[in-house]
Amino acid sequence: MRWTIKPKPLQADIDALSQALNVTGLIAQLLLQRGITNYDTAKKFFRPQLSDLHDPFLMKDMDVAVNRIETAIANNENILVYGDYDVDGTTSVALLSSYLSSYYPNVATYIPDRYTEGYGVSFQGVDFAEDNGFTLIIALDCGVKAIDKVAYAKEKDIDFIICDHHRPGQHLPDAVAILDPKREDCLYPFDELCGCGVGFKLIQALASHRGETIDDLIPYLDLVATAIGADIVPMTGENRVLAYFGLQVINTYPRIGFKAIINQIKKPQLTITDVVFIIAPRINAAGRMEHGQHAVNLLTETDMERAKVFAAKIEKFNIDRRGLDKEITQQALTQIRENKEEERFTSVVYHESWHKGVIGIVASRLTETYYRPTLVFTKSGNKLAASARSVKGFDVYNALQGCADCIEQFGGHKYAAGLTLLEEQFEAFKAQFEKVVSESIEPHLLTPEIAVDAQIEFRQITPKLLRIIGQFAPFGPGNLAPVFMGEHLKDTGYAKAVGEKGAHLKLSITQHGIGPIGAIGFNLGDKLPLVAHRKQFSAIFSLDENQWQGNVSLQLKMRDLK
């Protein structure tokens, strides 16, 4: 791990903010590092308001989209709500379809099959719309590059409204409206919405025409918060407001489908981290293992008994997914070792029988192990399909553009992408990708970095500090949980490796005679010799609450130590 300490703001600025907010210098420093410089920005940060959301009509084409939907309703047209099979796509479809269905009956949903249709808008989906008399398709979390599919639909007199958040290509599809804050000609003030976030702006605009207020849309925010967490978009601006209120809905009055999942996991209060690691994988498992429509069915269900059946089915998908993910990861690691590819700048692995639904997770696992841009390929029909994952600071989407002559099609983000290519192109692509990455990546990016907000002394660590930091939540990119560095630390003699095969490290730490404070280091079990026999060490950690048998205590969540 590379330990990088963030620059400390000017002491004069720390003192001024500390005084204005009546907080410690440490809290003022953490806020300044997040761009919070005065009382007003601090108030917005600590007390998000739905009134802070932007006017949806600031988004390019929003007025056109709303008019087309209202025309469809006036003319009694059939509307097909179409979305991708991942969490962002299925929550988007559940959001818009349940909102429209609340006042208009001719609405149906469509999720493409991951295996027969692949990502995004498909010709098969357009054929389904034609066969079933749909004249308007609203595509969510996909479509901004679907030029040929939208043209195909137009030939059949089917209109498209696209709600996407991916980077558009050089040309836009010939849709009635394209809502995408990443369009160069869109002046919307916040361009980091997820697909479900763009869908929410659409229902916000529709609601305003119906005389409804933002308060009427609060019940839909559990879906938006889940998509924001799962899609790893920045937890800043509108995303933070939407996630903040969405979490409140999840923890107080969630929709029936969420309730059915939460009842299974028996956790009373969920954080955004729980949403990302507990709820999102279950929703994702439907599209990975069988079909994303199962997730939409669960998220739109209003009868608890039926929801329990759907949730049990999705739980089984998730258990199966975990088993496959573990098995394929082991096979991929073996392939890298056997091919003696440990020293490359990239990991590119392929097996024709690997399950397409889990290759994205496997790519993430390989990135954790070797920490370099990674692609996992499998056979998909007569082509190869891959999921790509990157390391912090390296744009894998741009790297794939540098290999475009070997690729059939690709799309995605800076850190995650998908692509297809012909099998005969695989070796050429593998060599080209290695070349592009090796020539463009800065060597230090191949060592994982931990960014440290501040050095801290144990005397500063109090329940009040933990309570105030808790109000920084929800956490996510752009607003990560504060990370601290402590020096001159010693274990009291309690240190031990715990968990399966001693994978984790449990400690009781003092500093200059202050303490002890309990600590847990997940996957740091191999570092036990560094702290045994009361050796002095430095550590990086965040502050956490340990709940055990009804007792709550402050603990350090260790990230690394040396």
* CATH, domain 339-446, list 3.10.310.30, 2.70.98.10, 3.40.50.300, 3.20.20.370: 3.10.310.30
Distance CA 398, CA 129 (A): 34
Note the pLDDT of residue 33.
95
CATH fold for domain 56-313? inorganic pyrophosphatase (n-terminal core) (3.90.1640)
Q: What pLDDT, on a 0 to 100 scale, did the predictor assign at position 114?
A: 84
Class of domain 2-6+450-561: mainly beta
Model pLDDT, residue 331:
97
Indicate the domain borders of the chain: 2-6+450-561, 56-313, 339-446
Provide the terminal-to-terminal Cα distance of the chain, rounded to the nearest Å.
10
Sign of CA dihedral 51, 53, 58, 62: negative
What pLDDT sits at residue 39?
A: 95
Reading the block at residue 384, the tokens are 């190869």
What is the model's pLDDT at position 267?
Answer: 78
The reported pLDDT for the residue numbered 297 is: 94
All residue ranges of the chain with pLDDT < 50 are none
User: Cα separation of 91 and 197, whole Å?
Assistant: 10
Residue 5: helix, strand or coil by DSSP?
strand
Dist. CA 454–CA 5, nearest whole Å: 7
What pLDDT score does 546 carry? Answer: 82
What are 21-27's contacts with CB under 8 Å, separation 24+? 23/468, 24/460, 24/465, 26/454, 26/456, 26/460, 26/465, 27/465, 27/468, 27/469
* 339-446 and 2-6+450-561 share a CATH fold: no
pLDDT at 290: 84
Rounded distance between C-alpha atoms, residue 272 and residue 279, angstroms: 10
| The pLDDT value given to residue 265 | 81
pLDDT in tens, 12-55: 999 999 999 999 999 999 999 999 999 999 999 999 999 999 99
What backbone torsions phi and psi does residue 395 show, to the nearest 5 degrees?
A: -90, 100
Query: What does the pLDDT read at residue 288?
Result: 85
**Adjacent-strand bridge partners of 509:** 491, 517
Burial 515-537, CB ≥16 within 10 A → b, else e: bebbbbbeebbebbebbeeeeeb
Look up residue 140 and give its two tokens: 């969510």
Q: How far is CA 119 from CA 177, 402, 526, in A?
A: 21, 22, 41
